[in-house]
Structure formats: C-alpha cells, structure tokens
Amino acid sequence: MIGNFGCQACATGLSRREEYEKTEGRRQRRRRGKRLASWRTERSLASMSIHRISSLTATSMSPSWLSTAASIGMAVGPPLVYADQAASIIRKRDATGFSRDVCAILLLANITRCFFWLGNHFELALLIQSVLMILAQLALLYICIRYRPTISPENFGTSTRPFSFWQWSTYTQYIEFLAGFMLRCTRIGKYSAYTSANK
C-alpha cells in the first residue's frame, strides 16, 4: 500500500512538473513571438519612415527647383527671341523684311492678357512674360521706325489702310494709340464677359 501510494505521488509530481514545464514553454514561446512581432513592426515602421522621408525629399526638393527654372525660362525666353531681330536691324540700319504688324499683334495680345489677369489671376510667370514682351516690342517698334525703308507708305502718304492704321510716321502716334487701347481695356474690364472676376 505504501509502495503504491509512493508511486502515485511520484507520478502526480511528474505530471505536475510536466504541466508546469509545458506551461512555461508556452509562455516563453509567446514572449518570443511577441518580441519577434514587435521587432518586425518596428523594422517595417522604420523602413516606411525612411522611404517616406526620401520620397518627400525627392518630390519637394528637385521639382521646386525645376519649376522655378522653368518659370524663369518661360517668362524671359519669348521676349529674348526678338533681341536677335533688333540687333540685326541695328547692324544693317535697315528694317526691310520685318513687318511692324508683328509688333502690333504682340502688343495688343499681351496688353489684353495683362488686363485679363486683373480679373482672373493666372500664373505669375505668364504675367511677367507679357510685361517683358510689351517692353521688347515697344523697343523693337522704335528701332523699326528709326530704320524704316526709304520707300514706305508713310513716307509717301500712300497707305491703303483706314486712317493709315499702324503705318504712321512717328513713334508718338503708336504710343497714343496704345494708350487709347489700354484706356478702353480699363473701361470694359469691369464686365464679366471680359474677365471671370465675378465667377
């Protein structure tokens, strides 16, 4: 009886020890799993943060520099195209082959664009481009009048245009017309049909 009781006690002790070891093993495996999951989470978050910072740096640094350079080129480039034409006329001292109507079209178009900007603000680079183009065309127009051909309609009064439009003999007449055109744009600029300021 005593032997059987001792064997049962030993068996019970062994079973309890095995259960304890199994329980501790499960706890350790859970702890290792939690630590591994936490480490993986931290690693993924760190990699995501590094990737996000690098992508933000790449998208915020270079495009802003490129967009600034593009805006400067867009504003300055078109007016500079006519610098070679002006230099050629001055060098030859003759404006034959260049029509002053080009100056008229560009002056009226860019003046209209500047007044449109007052009602509907578009990109600033385009506004600067228009202002520079107006200045460039005024200078080119002055050069064309100064070095106009000796055989020209305004010299002989043989212009076939109404009121000799844009074939006047003095630079002042062109400025007076442009001033009147700007005054007209000022008056009609308040209407929504001209600009979208009221939209």
C-alpha to C-alpha distances, 186 to 103, 162, 195, nearest whole angstrom: 21, 25, 11
For residues 103 and 137, give the distance between their C-alpha atoms in angstroms, rounded to a whole number. Answer: 6
Evaluate if residue 59 carries a pLDDT over 90: no
Residue 140 lies in a domain: yes
Residue 46 lies in a domain: yes
Question: How many independent structural domains does the chain possess?
Answer: 2
For residues 167 and 154, give the distance between their C-alpha atoms in angstroms, rounded to a whole number. Answer: 6
Residue 161: per-residue pLDDT? 83
Provide mean pLDDT across the span 136-152. 90
User: Are 85 and 160 in a shared domain?
Assistant: yes
Question: pLDDT tens digits, residue range 75-127?
Answer: 888 899 999 999 999 999 999 888 899 999 999 999 999 988 888 888 899 99
| 164: DSSP letter | G
Domain housing 39: 7-50
Residue 193 lies in a domain: yes
Residue 64 lies in a domain: no
For residues 130 and 108, give the distance between their C-alpha atoms in angstroms, rounded to a whole number. Answer: 10
* pTM, 2 dp: 0.63
Residue 151: per-residue pLDDT? 72
Residue 89 lies in a domain: yes
- Which is higher by pLDDT, 97 or 35? 97
Confidence of residue 70 (pLDDT cuts 50, 70, 90): confident
User: Are 43 and 89 in a shared domain?
Assistant: no
Q: 28 Cβ partners below 8 Å, 6+ apart?
A: none
Neighbours of 68 (CB within 10 A): 11
Evaluate if residue 5 carries a pLDDT over 50: no
C-alpha to C-alpha distances, 138 to 124, 132, 151, nearest whole angstrom: 21, 10, 23
| 35: DSSP letter | H
